[in-house]
């Protein structure tokens, strides 16, 4: 237990310094490492394995809905980026620019993609000619670059990994439905896979994606009351289509511009997993994305039969679960804290006495509940325990979301909550960008997160200016 | 049949213009498209699906051998790239350089990774301290950039996708064994998955990877007698370790430098697939990587029961194979040539008469062999047919390799073969770089491909200078 204690003491407590706790977990759970490249991180095997599980799950969902994967160039010539006015204004200031190829200066600068609407549009112009070519449901998994001043592993890095879906449709209605469908896909993924309850809604005019007519968002509440934008789905109308002169001959023989969507989620979801489910002992991973779902720890490993039994369980379980057998010569106590730190959902202990009784010990990471389980129906017990962990993580996150959601009926309440109660603020809004800006300024950073799909009526007037309210908005500080 | 004929006529014949045939296939099989980004391509859904099958197969092989995936930054600061002298000399001339981040000029230029030895070394320095930390068996799937003057889809593009393995070991012997083991892994993959017989050996001093002590290579022979370097595995000794000051405390308590390997294959393998297996009707794909293994074409689709039966077969087969049912209103003839163009290994035709007889027609893409097959053991028949296609493709490629491998006993024979017989040339070599350069100059591009693992004794003297020969070398023109 000495080892275990030591290890746990190495992490800063959440309540002492949440930010330090976060970076401690990232480092000690071996999720990521810093590099000499400013603002970029190394994603280590354990962190990357989480990303692989996320990819596999999402990719299957996308393909089930009819999407196909493609790969576009990583470079966007400056002229191409400038074709859609709002888009370039939003992204040009945070682009990394390539100006030399080998020894030669380029005649036109190349941006490294911050997002790929422009590249997809250029390609779509080549391949879309008739209504028969629609819809086009494309997605790509890739790296993108947004030059950031202050960075934090997973949450905000100059380069990050993501997927970006880009689709084209014959009608506005169909494109709007796709925007909503993919937003729903993300919502399901957050609930079913990440065990995170999302707040869902649409962005205000001010917070929309550069070039979009409508942006739907997934907002998640971290343990410390700060919000994280966890995924967005955009409806573009035919704005890019017109800018890129993409046309198709419709069934009625008329030449028309198609309607477009894009949607993306990124490695920042790993940051959300850490900050929503983690605790003072380290990472806590939802079973669906945990690289190791069950860590088998042999007890009194030197005793005859223990290692054999542990290996036998490993072989039986690995067909169904992601299992690791740790037969290293570290102490059981060291191993306990190691897999706690790494957020492994279940620990399975097996020692001589357990073998005698045809049982093992199953310990849950989330609540440390310890149970003796018969080896006869072990797989079923583990399956149930993993489902229980997922459910408990979701419930705990839901509880945190409820506790950290406040209602402001007027300006004073808004300021008081913003100053003293970290979390979401529900408040009425007149619809003016000025009020959004004022609230952000006076609170030092509280912004509109979304207009939720399910608005409630809190009062008749805007919390800021007192004019008639148009919407209920969820506000909050963000990562 | 009119449609079919038209479609086939659209491709330039191989013998007329091999280069044009290649780009026709790339475009008409919808593998890739050009973009306005110089030297970069769009990988379209059908091409990317081949890459996904390649990735899945290789990734499983790597993991089976104990490798873990990671992700390194895409940027390499100029100073970091310069740490290993030979390496920077080899790669700096073909780097794309980022000089601006947003509006600000960077104080140090960033290369976009042409390969990531330097980044891995920087990270390894952070995480390797003891012999217990070794070996480190890392791999990453990513995009890399090498600024190319003349480009061709898949074969040579400024940006391409690849995997790069980077490993560290306590001893030189272990690292050498890993270099060879991964080369063997590629060799197996070429034979078992791509149905390509590789020529295997090591590179001469002149052709080695920049910074490597030894480079093992996979060389493949295209249909037109031009060679393609299809994968390499490098042994670095402790050169980078010393340059990056990576040390570990060994069991004997001594501080030592670890020994390093790297190995990679890329999307250029798709180019090899096209040029080795393709024919005048388009692409021919080996079943293991074909996005569609069986195309089901209903005949007389309007007749009652046909579409139902075709759907029933589709549902039964899709659990085991990658199947597509084409129930579009295009003619069967159009569909036949479409799936021929796309290189689908098997076509399954089913019409009213077949249904009556409880059979279907199975047509092989590679030799157009047509057989009636009972529906009772259809899955087994398809499995056997796919295996037969794989085998036949391999045999055909092997035959091409044999026919296009020539032996030169002296200088005149070498020049004659180089001028008149496209293919590999087996010839003795003294070991001097001067002779390699001379042979390349006088033949206009015939270079040493490799010193094969199984050398034969052709003569006692170098084919170029007449001095005593050290090795048999395989020579050839390359893509």
Cβ contacts of B97 on chain A, cutoff 8 Å? 98-101
Per DSSP bridges, beta strands B424-429 and B471-476 are antiparallel
- Residues A225-240 as b or e (16 or more Cβ within 10 Å = b): bbbbbbbbbbbbbbbb
Measured distance CA(A22)–CA(A422) in Å, rounded: 17
Strand partners, B360: B373
Q: Given this model, what pLDDT does residue A9 score?
A: 57
Q: Given this model, what pLDDT does residue B377 score?
A: 95
Tell if the CB–CB gap between A70 and B44 is shorter than 8 Å: yes
pLDDT tens, per residue, chain A with 479 residues: 334 444 445 899 999 999 999 999 999 999 999 988 889 999 999 999 999 999 999 999 999 999 999 999 999 999 999 998 888 888 989 999 999 999 899 999 999 999 999 999 999 999 999 999 999 999 999 999 999 888 999 999 999 999 999 999 999 999 999 999 999 999 999 999 999 999 999 999 999 998 899 999 999 999 999 999 999 999 999 999 999 999 999 999 999 999 999 999 999 999 999 999 999 999 999 999 999 999 999 999 999 999 999 999 999 999 999 999 999 999 999 999 999 999 999 999 999 999 999 999 999 999 999 999 999 999 999 999 999 999 999 999 999 999 999 999 999 999 999 999 999 999 999 999 999 999 999 999 999 999 999 999 999 999 999 999 999 999 999 99
Phi-psi region of A303 (alpha: psi -120 to 50; beta: other; left: phi over 0): beta
B182: number of Cβ within 10 Å: 28
Tell if the CB–CB gap between B122 and A36 is shorter than 8 Å: yes
Cβ contacts of B100 on chain A, cutoff 8 Å? 96-97, 99, 109
Tell if the CB–CB gap between A99 and B102 is shorter than 8 Å: no
pLDDT in tens, B135-144: 999 999 999 9
Q: Which of A27, A28, A45, A140 to mutate to test the interface with B (most CBs of B within 10 A)?
A: A45
Cβ contacts of B135 on chain A, cutoff 8 Å? none
- Return the CA Rg of chain B: 25
Q: Which of A29, A80, A102, A322 to mutate to test the interface with B (most CBs of B within 10 A)?
A: A102
CA atoms lying within 13 Å on the CB side of residue B371: 13
CB contact residues (below 8 A), chain B span 420-449, against chain A: none
Q: Which of A127, A173, A202 is nearest to A449 (CA)?
A: A202
Cβ contacts of A127 on chain B, cutoff 8 Å? 33
pLDDT in tens, B39-67: 999 999 999 999 999 999 999 999 999 99
Angle at B166 between CA B161 and CA B170, to 5 degrees: 175
Measured distance CA(B54)–CA(A261) in Å, rounded: 30
Measured distance CA(B272)–CA(B258) in Å, rounded: 35
Q: Determine the straight-line distance between the first and last CA of chain B, rounded to whole angstroms.
A: 37
pLDDT in tens, B229-275: 999 999 999 999 999 999 999 999 999 999 999 999 999 999 999 99
CB contact residues (below 8 A), chain B span 67-126, against chain A: 68-77, 80, 93-103, 109-110, 112, 119, 122-123, 126
Cβ contacts of B69 on chain A, cutoff 8 Å? 45, 48-49, 52
Structure token pair of residue A115: 């997002």
Structure token pair of residue B302: 């309007």
Q: Given this model, what pLDDT does residue B140 score?
A: 98
User: Is A260 exposed, middle or buried, given 0-12, 13-18 or 19+ CB atoms closer than 10 A?
Assistant: buried
CB contact residues (below 8 A), chain B span 281-300, against chain A: none
Tell if the CB–CB gap between A102 and B112 is shorter than 8 Å: no
Pick the more confident residue, A424 or B103: A424
Contacts of B416 (CB under 8 A, 6+ apart): none
Measured distance CA(B275)–CA(B397) in Å, rounded: 10
pLDDT in tens, B276-299: 999 999 999 999 999 999 999 999
Q: Which of B342, B259, B246 is nearest to B45 (CA)?
A: B342
Tell if the CB–CB gap between A69 and B52 is shorter than 8 Å: yes
Structure token pair of residue B85: 């002298």
**Is the torsion defined by CA of B309, B315, B321, B322 positive or negative?**
positive
Cβ contacts of A142 on chain B, cutoff 8 Å? 143
Comparing CB atoms, the residue among A44, A77, A93 nearest residue B36 is: A77
B54 interfaces chain A, CB cutoff of 8 Å: no
Give B38→chain A minimum CA distance, Å.
9
Comparing CB atoms, the residue among B35, B102, B126 nearest residue A119 is: B35
Contacts of A87 (CB under 8 A, 6+ apart): A81, A117, A118, A210, A211, A240
Where would I find the beta strands (DSSP E) of B35-125?
Answer: 41-43, 68-69, 75-77, 96-101, 104-112
Q: Which of B76, B155, B148, B68 is nearest to B109 (CA)?
A: B76
Cβ contacts of A67 on chain B, cutoff 8 Å? none
Give B73→chain A minimum CA distance, Å.
6
CB contact residues (below 8 A), chain B span 303-342, against chain A: none
Give B381→chain A minimum CA distance, Å.
28
The DSSP element (H or E) to which B382 belongs, if any, is helix B378-403
Q: Can you give chain A as a three-state secondary structure string? A: CHHHHHHHHCCCCCCCCHHHHHHHHHHHCCCEEECCCCCCEEECHHHHHHHHHHHHHHHHHHHHCCCEECECCCEEEHHHHCCCHHHHHHHHHHCEEEEEECCEEEEEEEEECCCCHHHHHHHHHHHCCEHHHCCEEEEEEEEEECCCCCCECCCECCEEEEEEEEEEECCHHHHHHHHHHHHHHHHHHHHHCCCCCCEEEECCHHHCCCCCCEEEEEEEECCCCCEEEEEEEEEEECHHHHHCCCCEECCCCCEECCEEEEEEEECHHHHHHHHHHCECCECCCCCCCCCCCEEEEECCCCCCCHHHHHHHHHHHHCCCCCEEECCCCCCHHHHHHHHHHCCCCEEEEECHHHHHCCEEEEEECCCCCEEEEEHHHHHHHHHHHHHHHHHHHHHHHHHHHHHCEEECCCHHHHHHHHHHCCCEEEEEECCCHHHHHHHHHHHCCCEEEEEECCCCCCCCECCCCCCECCEEEEEECEC
Measured distance CA(A382)–CA(A360) in Å, rounded: 11
Tell if the CB–CB gap between A102 and B147 is shorter than 8 Å: yes
User: Is A104 exposed, middle or buried, given 0-12, 13-18 or 19+ CB atoms closer than 10 A?
Assistant: exposed
A392 interfaces chain B, CB cutoff of 8 Å: no
Tell if the CB–CB gap between A97 and B97 is shorter than 8 Å: no
User: Is A152 exposed, middle or buried, given 0-12, 13-18 or 19+ CB atoms closer than 10 A?
Assistant: middle
Cβ contacts of A98 on chain B, cutoff 8 Å? 96-99, 112
B130 interfaces chain A, CB cutoff of 8 Å: no
Cβ contacts of B142 on chain A, cutoff 8 Å? 143
DSSP string across B443-472? HTS-EEEEEESS-----SB-TTT-SBP-EE
B397 interfaces chain A, CB cutoff of 8 Å: no
Residue A38, CA distances (Å) to A19, A143, B125 in order: 19, 16, 18
Q: Given this model, what pLDDT does residue B99 score?
A: 97
């Amino acid at each position: 237990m000495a080892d275990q204690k030591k290890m746990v003491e190495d992490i800063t407590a959440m309540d002492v310094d949440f930010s330090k706790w976060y970076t401690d977990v990232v480092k000690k759970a071996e999720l990521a490492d810093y590099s000499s490249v400013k603002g970029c991180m190394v994603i280590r095997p354990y962190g990357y394995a989480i990303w692989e599980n996320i990819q596999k799950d999402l990719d299957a969902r996308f393909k089930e809905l009819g999407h196909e994967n493609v790969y576009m160039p990583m470079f966007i010539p400056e002229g191409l980026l400038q074709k859609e006015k709002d888009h370039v204004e939003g992204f040009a200031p945070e682009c990394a620019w390539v100006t030399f190829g080998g020894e030669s200066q380029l005649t036109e600068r190349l941006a490294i993609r911050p997002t790929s609407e422009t590249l997809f549009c250029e390609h779509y112009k080549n391949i879309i000619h008739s209504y028969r070519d629609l819809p086009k449901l494309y997605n790509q998994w890739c790296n993108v670059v947004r030059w950031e001043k202050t960075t934090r592993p997973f949450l905000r890095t100059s380069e990050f990994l993501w997927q970006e879906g880009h689709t084209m449709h014959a009608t506005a209605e169909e494109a709007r439905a796709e925007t909503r469908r993919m937003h729903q896909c993300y919502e399901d993924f957050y609930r079913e896979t990440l065990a995170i309850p999302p707040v869902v809604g649409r962005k205000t005019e001010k917070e929309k994606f550069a070039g979009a007519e409508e942006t739907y968002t997934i907002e998640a509440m971290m343990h410390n009351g700060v919000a994280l934008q966890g995924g967005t789905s955009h409806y573009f109308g035919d704005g890019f289509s017109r800018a890129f002169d993409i046309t198709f001959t419709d069934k009625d023989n008329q030449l028309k511009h198609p309607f477009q969507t894009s949607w993306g989620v990124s490695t920042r979801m790993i940051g959300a997993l850490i900050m929503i489910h983690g605790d003072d002992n380290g990472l806590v991973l939802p079973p669906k994305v945990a690289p190791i779902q069950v860590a088998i720890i042999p007890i009194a490993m030197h005793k005859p039969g223990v290692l054999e039994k542990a290996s036998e369980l490993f072989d039986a379980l690995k067909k169904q679960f992601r299992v690791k057998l740790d037969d290293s010569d570290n102490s059981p106590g060291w191993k306990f804290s190691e897999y706690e730190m790494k957020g492994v959902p279940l620990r399975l202990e097996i020692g001589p006495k357990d073998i005698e009784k045809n049982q093992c010990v199953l310990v849950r990471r989330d609540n440390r509940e310890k149970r003796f389980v018969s080896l006869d129906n072990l797989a079923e017990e583990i399956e149930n325990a993993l489902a229980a962990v997922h459910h408990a993580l979701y419930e705990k996150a839901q509880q945190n979301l409820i506790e950290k959601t406040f209602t402001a009926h007027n300006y004073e309440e808004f300021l008081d909550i913003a100053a003293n109660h970290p979390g979401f603020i529900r408040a009425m809004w007149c619809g003016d960008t000025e009020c959004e800006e004022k609230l952000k300024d006076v609170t030092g950073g509280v912004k509109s997160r979304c207009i939720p799909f399910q608005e409630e009526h809190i009062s008749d007037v805007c919390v800021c200016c007192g004019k008639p309210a148009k919407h209920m908005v969820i506000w909050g500080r963000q990562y």
